[in-house]
Structure 1
């Protein structure tokens, strides 16, 4: 095991440099060389990233502009590319050398660091090892296992990286088999968006396109670490700040990307002695879960300004014409806002009245406002209401459905939004089941399937017997890690379609396979030649992608090919689909997608390769509201508090928010440094408010355990964490995902959406 990046004496020191800049370039170069790649090879790859004639980044889902920068990639996107095209191989020799029980002691980073999987493998319990298996044998045996099970006991998970083509085929395979259990990574992050937005504006996705940033005269950011999770968006923020546009950020932690940024593509900025551009004109560190209270304060300030305008005979601050024509429920919402006291708003948000009234004045003067948000809004017990409250704030001034304005949920994985668009959903009402039945001559299941939380419950209680995964590292990303990992080994069937070794592979069930697949950056050649795939970005634009790099192994198959072979082995004769015909030419799958979803995908094959892609036909962008009442709805929140409110003064109970480092993407950990937070050589750290540390008699580098504060009989604990003082609100602490996932109870999720509430977990400090 390679522990060269871990140190027994980690360094934690304030980082005073901007995001981007030389630090970003240096980090990319180090990762490039560590994966056995030359600078020349890396340059050739990265110049094609997010370009119309190249490949879509395998990291985040931020928009791909029609007129890209010379280098249309970010630090984390470059690391994701390096990670995929590494020269290292996790091959037959590796598995012959290591037992699974040994590998379970390795870190997540060290597992993936072994390189690309090369050979289909089957777990042999007598050897406690994975052994090679022929593709045809694997497909036949998996098909037989699935045929022997009740389809309702099988889960077909898909991570957010799989293409539109693979996703469409995957959901058809699952439904023809008889299972509606199609959880995906959206369940873990933005399900609160998918549930909340349709009730507010009739759309499950945002209304902002990349061109809107050039027209906006104010930007909000709520609960998003842009510098780590969508760094290319910093270009639009940078340009807005250069125009003098106010950028107002709400986040419990001070994140460097929305504080200072030095554009690596600007020679003038790179060579200047300064620390880059100030990205947020105002930055407010609110309490985790204090977002509704903060937004209520802003709305209260806007209503007061509107009252003053009426009294003075000046134009209204509220967009009364928009509210009258398009809105519904404003009176109840207004009554809620007016009825909240400033004392309660300040207590629950952790912010003072003057600050929120200042934001209200900025907002009242802006004509075109974009509100961006991330999992800091969605991963709360009231995550759905968080999303709807942000819509309320925008609707007050007509900031949805016009150029330069709108709601902008910033998704994670590169195609997590697109998979929902083509049928990856456990909810039957979201899928055109009648069309699928007509087109493909089968009867799909009509009942609701399992989402991520429900799938976890099923694995733990034994009702789920099979888990077939198209990508991802499910057990590590999901909540209730300890119980889930213990139960996973009791599954009858576990199948992982993967590019690299991860923790999930080390939890073999009775019958377990690893099926290695091509990555998106690799040549995918089928009977008709080199294939393109497609995906949807956060702004609902559809893009093409074509591989550039030679496959890591001649044994690898593409995701569509693997899906087709599994389907042929499992459900022969149960539909009229010619799976081989589809795999021979992926344009045929795109034709089927367009036939199924003509409004969004008309003329799909002719449009998806154009620069900038093409935008889905979203009614809310045109102020057409596909809600039940055909209006944009002001939805009044039930209250402010998260759990409800965790009182911390004089107690040992704190509110934990999980975070990601700038050296990771989701569960993939590229290294043990978090440069932008000044942490080097460890991820087993918790960041605390200095006053809380003093109150609890803790000092920097003290070692503690964390235990979930819950009275449900389950001992959830993560041990040996290093304490460090950090700029974070009192009563809150932060630590890394996925290491702290064992502290998230399965029941601790957003009401209505089941998104795990990983941004406000009640925990106790346990002295060692």
Structure 2
């Protein structure tokens, strides 16, 4: 049975010279423009541009260089001097490119011209913007609106996202799934159910006052490295950090601050986690139950001895419901069951709980290690249970902190990119734009994928992203995707989704957020929302990669004008010419969140749109925060069996989402390849394997379909027994579309049942 690891072996600290060497390699491969350094100096600052990578907040008191390794990679990736022009297709067919790696596709450079797929030659050919819009509109007009899907990644700003949602609803559908469907929809649904907020409750100032941070399934070293700065500050003031994660993530072990000359010259490391508990994949429910059990036992002892209570009785009585049922469940839970399901010892869990008990203010941090499970919503609810026990939501230095991935993924939901009608002020839209919005809920990603495979979805518009690569069931999806009447990809670079074109297929190249967006009234700014619900303006300064590029907003309005019937209230040309008018519409639609929007958009740190749960106002059905009584101890949809493993999909520090910057995962010591499966030494021996042996992972979901990922090299790694790891998005081929969170339908990518052949 695994215990906690105070100082796990690693390939060196996060940050430091390793980070700089990695950036130097990317610079050498992409040769970005000389203006890259100036761009990096403006990144995540007022009147600068907002990072196109993660959604980590921008502090009011920013550093001289307010970017991380991955943020800088994303910037240089956009500023590459490589160009994928129409001439590229003189030498390559679409079918040939299907054998290329994701990295190699993007290394062809920035897309420069709108392109249309020509089935006769199996190539994309240049097309004018007017022709592309006209043909897209003509195809959409022939289809039933509910047979079309309007997908969005987290790249586009709030202005383009708002008009994109308006386009879809004016067309007649709420089929507006978004990338959060695949990662944090469990937060949006599950967190909302128990505290009445679909987003986290903390703000930047809370980080500075917390006495302890409890991490669950989140990896700041690769996914949000700027988080390491406040964590380093917290450690220096004596705060404690406890981590629960099946995988040892180096950012939560130690950190050398690249912006601190002393640290860099001396190699001075800050140890991050005081306790690192390698919980089984899917075992967080049991682990948190053990924490809660220790807290309640300590409270029982306090009552018996007449000392101060450990649980916050006044808060629980005034602000929560369901406590008596929950505490009864906790008391009845046996430690041997908790140990079995979590993979942790009672001693390790009690030591971690002691940190929680001693801390006055605690922040609970989590990522997709909690959300991407068959019982992901219960994972989130259990973390909320832990925080509620001591009143750690809705006060300074405490709260719930889900860390979102893409830069504006949360904000797009805020302004209407959502398939659930209850989230949208439909009457306000009717009043503003003089049309009747559709009243039926739209499709989630899971339902959209099923529809594509079944042939029911006839068209997909993608505002950014690499959807075909990001979703489960990739084998069947490639066929279903290509069978559509229309596929439209708004993109900056070539990706795998372009290589399975529908009967009519278009690649529409867009501006990067770093580039000048010149419209009728002059250069335009866009806005984004971070993980702490703050809105920030973003202003591009670089010369566009091609004179033929359009902004995402201009592409949305171009499709809208070619598709929709005339409506004087839909002033697409005016909105394209002045994005400030779009922000006025957003404020009119969501007045409580966006008051004085245009005036406040460049406030340092962004302006806060508010969060009722942060003020202990609970917008739940019960009118209070809800204690959830668990009916199980793991987050799985399957039972353990001989030869069955729990596969955790992982990202390297050399990628962002589906973008693969290179083949160096220095934190795990893996170089030159992504074709690996990580296993603990005991599992390797028990399976009769040897390190370096080539194996296949085979889905063991139990639906009779054979899903295989071949050619993986076995690598010995510190993991809990029964848990194996391999890279996303390659592993998506193993995930069944029906393997998802019960409440939110988020794909359960953090515990996929597999066997090894």
Same fold at TM > 0.5: yes
State whether residues 646 and 762 of structure 1, in contact with CA within 8 Å, keep that contact through their aligned partners in structure 2: no
Match of 1:119 in 2: 113
* 1:43-192 matched pairs, under 5 angstroms: 43-192=37-186
Match of 2:537 in 1: 544
Q: Distance in 2 between matches of 1:646 and 1:736?
A: 23
In structure 2, the CA distance between the partners of 1:125 and 1:17, relative to structure 1 (3 Å rule), is same
State whether residues 153 and 463 of structure 1, in contact with CA within 8 Å, keep that contact through their aligned partners in structure 2: yes
Match of 1:455 in 2: 448
State whether residues 379 and 635 of structure 2, in contact with CA within 8 Å, keep that contact through their aligned partners in structure 1: no
State whether residues 703 and 723 of structure 1, in contact with CA within 8 Å, keep that contact through their aligned partners in structure 2: yes
- CA shift, 1:677, in A, is 0.9
Match of 2:400 in 1: 407
Alignment partner for residue 584 of structure 1, among 577, 598, 613?
577
Matching of residue 716 in structure 1 with residue 691 in structure 2: no
Alignment partner for residue 299 of structure 1, among 281, 285, 292?
292
Match of 1:388 in 2: 381
State whether residues 176 and 575 of structure 1, in contact with CA within 8 Å, keep that contact through their aligned partners in structure 2: no
Match of 1:733 in 2: 724
* 1:329-728 matched pairs, under 5 angstroms: 329-574=322-567, 576-644=569-637, 646-648=639-641, 651-728=642-719
- 1:646-700 CA distance string (max 9 Å, x none): 435xx22111010000000000000011111110000000000100100111111
Alignment partner for residue 31 of structure 2, among 25, 36, 40?
36
- CA shift, 1:225, in A, is 1.1
State whether residues 374 and 637 of structure 2, in contact with CA within 8 Å, keep that contact through their aligned partners in structure 1: no
State whether residues 295 and 393 of structure 1, in contact with CA within 8 Å, keep that contact through their aligned partners in structure 2: yes
- 1:580-611 CA distance string (max 9 Å, x none): 10111101000000000000001001111110
Q: Distance in 1 between matches of 2:11 and 2:180?
A: 34
Please give the TM-score of this superposition, normalised by the length of structure 1: 0.97
Secondary structure in 1 matching 2:404: coil
- CA shift, 1:710, in A, is 2.7
Q: Distance in 1 between matches of 2:627 and 2:567?
A: 46
State whether residues 32 and 42 of structure 1, in contact with CA within 8 Å, keep that contact through their aligned partners in structure 2: no
State whether residues 193 and 205 of structure 1, in contact with CA within 8 Å, keep that contact through their aligned partners in structure 2: yes
Alignment partner for residue 218 of structure 2, among 221, 224, 233?
224
- CA shift, 1:713, in A, is 2.4
Which runs of structure 1 show a deviation greater than 6 angstroms over 4 or more consecutive aligned residues?
A: none
- CA shift, 1:575, in A, is 5.9
Q: Distance in 2 between matches of 1:647 and 1:188?
A: 25
Alignment partner for residue 26 of structure 1, among 13, 21, 25?
21
Q: Distance in 2 between matches of 1:363 and 1:107?
A: 45
Alignment partner for residue 759 of structure 1, among 750, 754, 757?
750
State whether residues 89 and 118 of structure 1, in contact with CA within 8 Å, keep that contact through their aligned partners in structure 2: yes
Gaps of 5+ in 1: 1-13
- CA shift, 1:33, in A, is 2.1
State whether residues 15 and 675 of structure 1, in contact with CA within 8 Å, keep that contact through their aligned partners in structure 2: no
Q: Distance in 2 between matches of 1:201 and 1:496?
A: 37
- CA shift, 1:483, in A, is 0.7
Matching of residue 207 in structure 1 with residue 201 in structure 2: yes
State whether residues 468 and 494 of structure 1, in contact with CA within 8 Å, keep that contact through their aligned partners in structure 2: yes
State whether residues 442 and 575 of structure 1, in contact with CA within 8 Å, keep that contact through their aligned partners in structure 2: no
State whether residues 226 and 257 of structure 1, in contact with CA within 8 Å, keep that contact through their aligned partners in structure 2: yes
* 1:234-383 matched pairs, under 5 angstroms: 234-274=228-268, 276-383=269-376
Please give the TM-score of this superposition, normalised by the length of structure 2: 0.98
- 1:58-91 CA distance string (max 9 Å, x none): 0000000111111100000000001111100000
- 1:412-439 CA distance string (max 9 Å, x none): 0000000110001000001001110111
State whether residues 222 and 250 of structure 1, in contact with CA within 8 Å, keep that contact through their aligned partners in structure 2: yes
Q: Distance in 2 between matches of 1:452 and 1:710?
A: 19
State whether residues 491 and 507 of structure 2, in contact with CA within 8 Å, keep that contact through their aligned partners in structure 1: yes
Larger mean CA deviation between 449-458 and 28-37 belongs to 28-37
Gaps of 5+ in 2: 1-8
Secondary structure in 2 matching 1:544: strand
State whether residues 687 and 733 of structure 1, in contact with CA within 8 Å, keep that contact through their aligned partners in structure 2: yes
Q: Distance in 2 between matches of 1:612 and 1:642?
A: 36
- CA shift, 1:41, in A, is 2.9
State whether residues 158 and 472 of structure 1, in contact with CA within 8 Å, keep that contact through their aligned partners in structure 2: yes
- 1:515-536 CA distance string (max 9 Å, x none): 0010111000101111110000
Q: Distance in 2 between matches of 1:691 and 1:479?
A: 30
Superposed CA RMSD: 1.1
Q: Distance in 2 between matches of 1:336 and 1:85?
A: 55
- 1:381-406 CA distance string (max 9 Å, x none): 00001111101110110000001100
- 1:463-507 CA distance string (max 9 Å, x none): 100001100000100011111012111100000011000000000
- CA shift, 1:245, in A, is 0.6
State whether residues 646 and 655 of structure 1, in contact with CA within 8 Å, keep that contact through their aligned partners in structure 2: no
- 1:248-303 CA distance string (max 9 Å, x none): 000001111000100000111111144x1101111100000110100000000000
Q: Distance in 1 between matches of 2:546 and 2:468?
A: 27
Q: Distance in 2 between matches of 1:219 and 1:713?
A: 43
Aligned pairs, number: 750
